[in-house]
Amino acid sequence: PRKMVLHPKTRNLYILEGDQNVPSEPDREKIISNISDKTQDPEYKKLEPSFVGYPRMTGLWASCLRIVDPLKLETLERFEMENNEAVFGILITEFTCYPGKQCLVIGSAFNVKLQPKSSTSNFITIYELSEDGRQLSLIHKTAVEDIPMVFAAFDGKLLAGIGKTLRLYDLGKRRLLKKCENKHFNSTINQISVEELRIFV
């Protein structure tokens, strides 16, 4: 687990999970099937990952979003990311221009390398949550120039830490709308706190 947020109504947990140098689930299944065929051991497919571990492959990421009922300790839903997408930031918020709707915000990047830090593309994805919080409806996906690591709600809008940039967004029909930004930070933003109209980074 990397980060988690609590749904304000259902009290379910939304957990971002990610592991570096591990293939995504569809790729893992192919690799395990190939190993089973080469070793002529059909029982290999049935082994639990907790027993044999996951296949390791440099440069790949396995990531997912898990929705958990913390009282029953039960996984309600699990959404696997594909195409080497790694997830970093998460927030549940409500936009002033979209009243009465809970939105899930996820920051992700593709083909991420940590040393030196790089990625081929980065996105902030907005989903509308269903009443029970178990279904996600994609609103839109906005490309950004660096990895969106952290989010915070501010005055009915979205604050995003994108690399070394702090940016304020509002919800548009086809993408997030940039309202203002501050690029005068010396290092990557990894935490944002809001106290009334004050922002602490």
Q: Which two tokens stand for residue 33?
A: 């099937």
Average pLDDT in the chain: 90
Give the residue, 132 or 14, on which the prediction is more confident: 14
pLDDT at 50: 63
Lowest mean pLDDT among 47-51, 85-89, 154-158, 197-201: 47-51
178 contact partners, CB below 8 Å, separation of at least 6: 167, 168, 169
pLDDT at 39: 79
Q: Which H helix or E strand runs over 52?
A: helix 49-52
Lowest mean pLDDT among 41-50, 80-89, 95-104: 41-50
Answering whether pTM is above 0.85, one says yes
pLDDT at 25: 76
